[in-house]
C-alpha cells in the first residue's frame, strides 16, 4: 500500500506553504518543491475545494494555509487524493463465507486495514515537515 505521486505532491505543497508566512504563488511552490506546474495547479484547486487553503487573485495573489498541519491527518489527505479508504466487514453470525479459511482471511484483512487506517489517522501532515 504505497502513496501515489498526487498524495506525495499534495503533502509536499502543504509543507512548503507551512514554511512561509505570506501568500505563495504557484511558480514559487513549483520552484520550491519541483512539482510539475500543471499537476500542482490541479492539486491546489483540490486543496482549496477541500478547505485546506485559500487563494487570492492578482499580482500579489497566491495561496495560504487555512489549517495547521498538526491538525491534518494524512488519512484526510488520502481520502481526496486516492479514494475514501474504508474497513471491510468482518464475519459475524450471518457469515456467508464458504469455509473457515475464507473467514480467517477476511478477519485478517479487517485487522490489517484497521491498523493501517488508525496509523494514517494518527500521522499528521506536520510529521513530514
Read off the pTM: 0.82
Q: What pLDDT, on a 0 to 100 scale, did the predictor assign at position 2?
A: 75
CATH number at residue 82: 1.10.10.10
- Separation of alpha carbons 56 and 26, rounded Å: 11
The domain in which residue 117 lies consists of 5-128
> In this structure, what is the dihedral angle of CA atoms 117, 120, 121, 125, given to the nearest 10 degrees?
-160
pLDDT digits (tens, 9 = 90+) for 59-108: 889 999 999 999 999 999 998 898 776 666 666 666 666 666 777 777 78
Domain total of the chain:
1
Residue 121 CB-half CA count within 13 A: 9
Length of the chain: 129
Residue 124 has pLDDT above 70, yes or no: yes
Amino acid at each position: 500500500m504505497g502513496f501515489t505521486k498526487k498524495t506525495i505532491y499534495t503533502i509536499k505543497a502543504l509543507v512548503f506553504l507551512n514554511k512561509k508566512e505570506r501568500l505563495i504563488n504557484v511558480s514559487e511552490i513549483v520552484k520550491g518543491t519541483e512539482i510539475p506546474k500543471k499537476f500542482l495547479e490541479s492539486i491546489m484547486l483540490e486543496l482549496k475545494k477541500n478547505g485546506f487553503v485559500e487563494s487570492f487573485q492578482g499580482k500579489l495573489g497566491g495561496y495560504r494555509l487555512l489549517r495547521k498541519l498538526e491538525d491534518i491527518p494524512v488519512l484526510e489527505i488520502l481520502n481526496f487524493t486516492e479514494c475514501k479508504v474504508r474497513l471491510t466487514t468482518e464475519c459475524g453470525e450471518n457469515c456467508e463465507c464458504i469455509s473457515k479459511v475464507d473467514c480467517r482471511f477476511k478477519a485478517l484483512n479487517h485487522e490489517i486495514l484497521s491498523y493501517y487506517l488508525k496509523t494514517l489517522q494518527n500521522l499528521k501532515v506536520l510529521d513530514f515537515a
